[in-house]
Structure 1
Amino acid sequence: MNTARHGIPDLSGAEWHSSTYSGGNNECLQLAPGHPELAPIRDSKNAAGPVIAFGREAWRAFVTQLG
């Protein structure tokens, strides 16, 4: 796996997934699974925009607090 700056993997071929709660309105966060240590997140309205990569445990804690 190629890595880009800041240790974020090359996500050019990533398969992005939206939450089932988004309702298909293209206004949500998307996650690129398949990265054991990271949770790459992007805004579905700006697919070519920046990606934020959280550590898996940090992302899990964030999502848990939302519930």
Structure 2
Amino acid sequence: MPNPIGVIRTVTIPVPLFTHLKNCQRHIQQTEGRKLTNSHTLAVILRQHRDIVGPALQRTAQVSP
């Protein structure tokens, strides 16, 4: 994704979710050999969620009355 315009927000997340974020970040860094910021890691996770869960949500929305 070419550098899209970002939105800056301050959010609070529970420690276990932050730990998950850092574990994902370490995994990506190890497997892909690239450094990621917390923001980039969150973007990767959300993109994966969109690509995997999004189509199912769309199908559900189309079926709902």
The TM-score range, normalised by the shorter chain, is under 0.3
Question: Normalising to structure 1: TM-score of the pair?
Answer: 0.24
- Structure having the higher strand fraction is 1
Structure with greater Cα Rg: 2
Question: Normalising to structure 2: TM-score of the pair?
Answer: 0.25
